[in-house]
């Protein structure tokens, strides 16, 4: 099943806001055998919105719009849709009640502009927005559907996944069963992985498809299967997954759609180990990724953001001589940082980073993007530490994100080897 997405708002065309809704929609529907056929971005102009709808209905039976539903004068989508599908704009008491509930929960007072959100076209079916004030509107014509959703990414994501998409699947039900599996792969570039898997991928039957979804330092491989025989396609997806596991071996970090932080937390829990970080160039970003995971407190005990050399020596106990002889960005320093994190926090596993995130501060010997990472694990045989130097490319943010991902993956592999 294919859908069209229309993203509405002058702020998008001006570059003041970046569209994330279309990508979120595409990612969510893909495992169910649905796909986004077309994405259009238009401003708050009636003629352009109408033209985009006409074009989208020529391509697909389902249109999803985001944006243009706010209470201000420039948000005209509601009026355009009323004109397009017919009917009139009237106050819906159930919508007003929902708006008041949302506003009261946020501790605000209802004003006239927000109350006007309850005015909706009589030609639509309203889906109440539990997390915002703009109602979601479902329009139908000649067996085709347009669903108008708010532009706020959080609202769109929550309501699309919980309400809109389940209702679309129910309306456009097919006999095809969709199954999928996910493998998290490291140690390969996207092109390198594609080359490795080319012979296998070329032999795939038409009812199986392999998708590459890369992130810095990690590639999510998704196997999608579609067939009208549910048991058959489940068996085939499992068979394909087992074959990939044999081909890629230890490069597979997980067989679930998990972040590196989630994978590391699982590995620590299996062994009853606690975790800490000592971060210089990553500035606490590793700790941030770990604490984004619900329930991480049973494993993660804390972090030392040792951005200055004074904190490295005064808190983590890094030797001044080690710093002077090797520089802050060096393997000896990060080894002492990870060992210091174990001592200071009482954790059994520690990650340490020190590097040059840029855009300045690099040298010929240690260019921007140089990051040293150490992991230390307390075992029955003593403390085992492993340190390695990496070179990452890109902006400062990209380097920090890459170093964060690599550090988490390095810790996972260290634990699995001891």
Residue 274, CA distances (Å) to 24, 289, 346, 374 in order: 34, 16, 8, 16
Are 297 and 391 in a shared domain?
Answer: yes
Q: What does the alpha-carbon distance between residue 217 and residue 19 come to, in Å, rounded to a whole number?
A: 25
pLDDT of residue 210: 93
State yes or no: pLDDT of 327 exceeds 80: yes
Q: What is the CATH number of the domain that holds 147?
A: 3.40.980.10
Are 164 and 210 in a shared domain?
Answer: no
pLDDT band at 110 (very low <50, low <70, confident <90, very high): confident
State yes or no: pLDDT of 73 exceeds 80: no
Which among 197, 228, 254 is the end of a domain?
254
Which among 221, 254, 287 is the end of a domain?
254
Are 203 and 145 in a shared domain?
Answer: no
Are 44 and 167 in a shared domain?
Answer: yes
State yes or no: pLDDT of 365 exceeds 80: yes
Are 33 and 68 in a shared domain?
Answer: yes
Q: What is the pLDDT of residues 241-274, one digit of tens each?
A: 999 999 999 999 999 999 999 999 999 999 999 9
pLDDT of residue 175: 78
Measured from the Cβ of residue 381, the count of other Cβ atoms closer than 10 Å reads 7
Are 158 and 225 in a shared domain?
Answer: no
State yes or no: pLDDT of 176 exceeds 90: no
Per-residue H/E/C for the chain? CEEEEEEECHHHHCCCCCCCHHHHHHHHHHHHCCEEEEEEEECCCHHHHHHHHHHHHHHCCEEEEECCCCCCCCCCHHHHHHHHHCCCEEECHHHHHHHHHHHHHCCCCCCHHHHHHHEEECCCEEECCCCCCCCEEEEEECCEEEEEECCCHHHHHHHHHHHHHHHHHHHCCCCCEEEEEEEEECCCCHHHHHHHHHHHHHCCCCCEEEEEEEECCEEEEEEEEEECCHHHHHHHHHHHHHHHHHHHHHHEEECCCCCHHHHHHHHHHHHCCCEEEEECCCCCHHHHHHHCCCCHHHCEEEEEECCCHHHHHHCCCCCHHHHHHHCCCCHHHHHHHHHHHHHHHCCCEEEEEEECCCCCCCCCCCCCCEEEEEEEEEECCEEEEEEEEEECCCCHHHHHHHHHHHHHHHHHHHHHHC
pTM recorded for the entire structure: 0.79
Q: How many domains does the chain have?
A: 3
In the chain the first and final C-alpha atoms are separated, in Å, by 48
Average of pLDDT values for 81-91?
A: 95
Could you tell me which residues come within 8 angstroms of residue 412 by beta carbon, excluding any fewer than 6 positions away? 253, 260, 263, 264, 267
Say if residues 121 and 140 touch (Cβ distance below 8 Å). Answer: no
State yes or no: pLDDT of 389 exceeds 80: yes
Q: What is the pLDDT of residues 117-153, one digit of tens each?
A: 999 999 999 999 999 999 999 999 999 999 999 999 9
Of 6, 136, 4, the closest CA to residue 57 belongs to 4
pLDDT band at 330 (very low <50, low <70, confident <90, very high): very high
Q: What is the CATH number of the domain that holds 207?
A: 3.30.70.2860
Q: What does the alpha-carbon distance between residue 19 and residue 22 come to, in Å, rounded to a whole number?
A: 7
Are 109 and 246 in a shared domain?
Answer: no
Are 311 and 399 in a shared domain?
Answer: yes
pLDDT of residue 94: 94
Of 353, 329, 350, the closest CA to residue 341 belongs to 350
Are 296 and 346 in a shared domain?
Answer: yes
Q: Is the peptide bond before 359 cis (omega within 30 degrees of 0)?
A: yes
Are 274 and 408 in a shared domain?
Answer: yes
Q: What is the CATH number of the domain that holds 281?
A: 3.90.950.20
Which among 254, 289, 321 is the end of a domain?
254
State yes or no: pLDDT of 74 exceeds 80: no
Are 360 and 404 in a shared domain?
Answer: yes
Six-digit token string for 25:
């929609």
Are 127 and 239 in a shared domain?
Answer: no
Q: What does the alpha-carbon distance between residue 160 and residue 147 come to, in Å, rounded to a whole number?
A: 10
pLDDT band at 332 (very low <50, low <70, confident <90, very high): very high
pLDDT of residue 112: 87
Q: What does the alpha-carbon distance between residue 223 and residue 235 come to, in Å, rounded to a whole number?
A: 12
Domain that holds residue 353: 260-417
pLDDT band at 95 (very low <50, low <70, confident <90, very high): very high
């Amino acid at each position: 099943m294919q859908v069209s997405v229309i993203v509405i708002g002058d702020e998008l065309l001006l570059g003041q806001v970046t569209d994330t809704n279309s990508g979120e929609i595409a990612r969510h529907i893909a495992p169910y055998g649905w796909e986004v056929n077309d994405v259009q971005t238009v401003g708050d102009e009636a003629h352009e919105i109408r033209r985009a709808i006409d074009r989208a209905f020529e391509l697909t039976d389902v249109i999803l719009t985001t944006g243009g539903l706010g209470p201000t004068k420039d948000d005209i989508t509601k009026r355009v849709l009323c004109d397009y599908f017919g009917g009139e704009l009237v106050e819906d008491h159930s919508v007003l009640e929902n708006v008041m509930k949302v506003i009261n929960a946020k501790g605000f007072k209802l004003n006239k502009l927000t109350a006007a959100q309850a005015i909706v076209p009589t030609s639509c079916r309203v889906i109440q927005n539990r997390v915002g004030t703009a109602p979601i509107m479902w329009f139908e014509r000649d067996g085709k559907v347009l669903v108008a959703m708010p532009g706020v990414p959080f609202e769109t994501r929550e309501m699309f996944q919980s309400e809109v998409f389940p209702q679309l699947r129910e309306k456009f039900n097919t006999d095809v069963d969709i199954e999928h599996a996910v493998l998290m792969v490291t140690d390969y570039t996207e092109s390198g992985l594609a080359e490795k898997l080319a012979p296998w991928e070329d032999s795939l039957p038409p009812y199986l498809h392999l998708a590459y979804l890369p992130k810095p330092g990690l590639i999510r491989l998704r196997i999608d299967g579609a067939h009208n025989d549910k048991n058959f396609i489940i068996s085939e997806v499992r068979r394909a997954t087992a074959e990939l596991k044999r081909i890629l071996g230890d490069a597979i970090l997980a067989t679930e759609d998990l972040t590196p932080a989630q994978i590391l937390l699982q590995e620590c829990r299996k062994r009853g180990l606690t975790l800490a970080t000592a971060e210089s160039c990553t500035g606490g970003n590793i700790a941030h990724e770990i604490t984004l995971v619900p329930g991480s407190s049973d494993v993660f005990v804390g972090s030392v953001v040792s951005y200055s050399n004074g904190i490295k020596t005064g808190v983590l106990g890094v030797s001044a001589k080690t710093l002077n002889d090797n520089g802050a960005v060096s393997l000896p320093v990060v080894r002492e940082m990870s060992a210091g994190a174990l001592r200071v926090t009482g954790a059994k596993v520690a990650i340490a980073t020190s590097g040059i995130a840029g855009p300045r501060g690099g040298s010929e010997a240690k260019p921007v993007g140089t990051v040293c990472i150490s992991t230390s694990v307390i075992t029955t045989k003593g403390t085992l530490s492993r340190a390695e130097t990496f070179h990452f490319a890109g902006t400062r943010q990209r380097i920090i994100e890459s170093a964060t991902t690599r550090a988490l993956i390095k810790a996972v592999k260290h634990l699995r080897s001891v």
